[in-house]
């Protein structure tokens, strides 16, 4: 029996997403294992994979099958959602020529490779020519995609990471944050000054011991080491595929606390990936909904749960035992102060919950200006420092602590940064709904039992994949679209009560 147009599309997209999975594994290897001399050939490999994927999406037969499926083949339901996601991928791909796709992939790989050296040597000039070349190509791609999708160039980039996301909505949410966070910060600092300082446990902390503690807590959270692993890289991330998940972190011998929270953060990503609907593996509907939803899962685990009094009461003895620690610095109350300490700082990934959005808004403003041509790449360090002074009253001593600290722009992720704060807002809203639905969640967490929380997340978030839009998912799980009210309540309880 011949296959219907929709069934033929499923076969095509299964091949396409297998190639994307292979690309993800090459990126993981590039960040963790690849010798520096392999960068050029790796760039060629990634560009070839991009070209083949682009070819599958843009060949005339794909458009014909999409139209036939829309006209005759698919009614409402999961298949309609899958077809919607296929159309979305096709629309973005057909906006760009294969030559531009290949050029972007090669430029991205070269830029990321040089960034690693530039960051280590605090030498922005080293990576500048590569960033300028990539930014020129990106402006071409953003303009072409914007014209095809009838969006602004920035929204065309944002839509890749946050489907349906628009600048006007982000500006509204970020405007609300900027109206109340400065007051929260002042009050939190005042309240904090009335208590004892947070003591940092004294090292050194061997990387092997840090890894062992991270693995132990990952297992407690529900990470499946039959389908994943933990490694080291310059910048922590979670990659791979739902059946082969790769988490990385970086270790500091003088401070185990940051690496540990990075591991728990990335475990939140991993739990989401592992929980994506198995029935839709290899199809667009089985993919993660958006980076905002993805970040909500990592931040729900790290910020909402693992920096809470309940979890730290359980984890503090494990931390002390891992490093043979004893004394006031290892007590639960001190570790809670340490993990909820509020202080403006230069490094985004080390920022507290109240100041973190300022780091995101800073990057959001700068990347919009660079994309529009209002800020040239050569002027980025000075502009970064000026914005850091404006938002947080701090000036980086060097570019390694400034515009070179994040991998994202050098790795081609433009329009990505807003999803971090969208995810933080979403995490508070989802976790509040989970607590209302499962009253025993905190009691279980205090005993190291994450099953009730994970079960609720599996049902309401993970298993939905891209079968629902972000708005539909949030309304179904929480009863309302995204707003900042739950986030405000969370900050009030944790830092001002």
Catalytic residue set: 266
| The dihedral formed by the CA atoms of 142, 143, 146 and 147, expressed in degrees to the nearest 10 | -150
Residue 230, H or E segment: strand 228-232
Beta bridge partners of 232: 249
DSSP state of 252: B
Q: How many CA atoms lie within 13 A of 60 on its CB side?
A: 0
Q: Which two tokens stand for residue 334?
A: 């001190």
Beta bridge partners of 95: none
The CA distance from 392 to 396, in Å, is 11
In this structure, are residues 183 and 491 in contact, taking their beta carbons and an 8 Å threshold?
Answer: no
Calculate the alpha carbon distances from 247 to 29, 229, 241, 273, 335 in Å. Answer: 12, 6, 11, 12, 24
Alpha helix segments (H runs only) across 194-308: 207-221, 256-275, 291-299
In the three-class reduction of DSSP (H, G, I as helix; E, B as strand; rest coil), residue 197 is classed as coil
Mind giving me the DSSP string for 444-484? Answer: HHTTT--HHHHHHHHHHTGGGTTSS-HHHHHHHHHSS---S
Q: Which two tokens stand for residue 115?
A: 């960034």
Return the number of other C-beta atoms located less than 10 Å from residue 57's C-beta: 20
Nearest CA-CA partner of 227 in 263, 274, 265, 272? 274
Q: Which two tokens stand for residue 345?
A: 């700082």
């Amino acid at each position: 029996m011949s296959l219907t147009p929709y069934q033929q599309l499923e076969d095509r997209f299964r091949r396409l997403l297998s190639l994307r999975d292979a690309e993800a594994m090459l990126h993981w290897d590039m960040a963790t294992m690849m010798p520096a001399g392999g960068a050029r050939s790796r760039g060629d490999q990634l560009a070839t994979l991009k070209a083949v994927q682009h070819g599958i999406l843009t060949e005339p037969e794909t458009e014909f099958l999409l139209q036939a499926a829309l006209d005759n083949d698919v009614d409402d339901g999961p298949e309609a959602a899958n077809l919607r996601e296929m159309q979305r991928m096709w629309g973005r791909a057909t906006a760009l020529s294969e030559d531009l796709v290949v050029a972007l992939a090669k430029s991205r790989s070269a830029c990321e490779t040089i960034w690693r050296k530039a960051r280590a040597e605090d030498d922005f000039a080293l990576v500048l020519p590569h960033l300028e070349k990539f930014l020129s190509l990106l402006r071409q791609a953003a303009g072409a995609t914007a014209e095809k999708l009838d969006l602004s160039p920035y929204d065309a980039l944002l839509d890749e990471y946050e489907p349906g996301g628009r600048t006007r909505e982000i500006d509204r949410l970020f405007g609300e944050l900027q109206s109340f966070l400065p007051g929260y910060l002042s009050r939190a600092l005042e309240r904090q000054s009335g208590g004892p300082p947070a003591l940092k446990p004294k090292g050194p902390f061997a990387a092997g011991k840090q890894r062992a503690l991270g693995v132990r807590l990952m297992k407690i959270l529900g990470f499946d080491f039959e389908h994943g692993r933990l490694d080291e890289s310059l910048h922590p991330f979670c990659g791979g595929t739902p059946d082969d998940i790769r988490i990385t972190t970086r270790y500091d011998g003088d401070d185990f606390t940051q690496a540990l929270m990075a591991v728990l953060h990335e475990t939140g990503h991993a739990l989401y990936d592992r929980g994506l609907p198995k029935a839709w593996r290899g199809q667009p509907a089985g993919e993660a909904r958006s980076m905002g939803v993805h970040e909500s899962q990592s931040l729900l685990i790290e910020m909402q749960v693992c920096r809470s009094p309940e979890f730290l009461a359980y984890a503090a003895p494990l931390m002390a035992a891992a490093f043979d620690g004893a004394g006031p610095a290892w007590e639960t109350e001190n570790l809670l102060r340490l993990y909820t300490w509020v202080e403006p700082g230069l490094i985004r990934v080390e920022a507290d919950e109240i100041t973190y959005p300022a780091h995101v808004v800073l990057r959001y403003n700068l990347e919009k200006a660079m994309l529009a041509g209002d800020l040239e790449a050569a002027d980025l360090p000075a502009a970064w420092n000026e914005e850091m002074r404006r938002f947080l009253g701090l000036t980086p001593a060097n570019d390694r602590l400034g515009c070179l600290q994040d991998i994202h722009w050098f790795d081609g992720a433009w329009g990505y940064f807003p999803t971090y704060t969208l995810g933080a807002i979403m995490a508070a809203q989802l976790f509040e709904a989970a607590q209302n639905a499962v009253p025993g969640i905190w009691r279980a967490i205090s005993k190291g039992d994450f099953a009730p929380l994970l079960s609720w997340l599996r049902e309401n978030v993970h298993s939905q994949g891209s079968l629902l839009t972000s708005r539909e998912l949030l309304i179904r799980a929480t009863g309302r679209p995204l707003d900042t009210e739950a986030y405000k309540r969370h900050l009030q309880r944790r830092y001002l009560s």
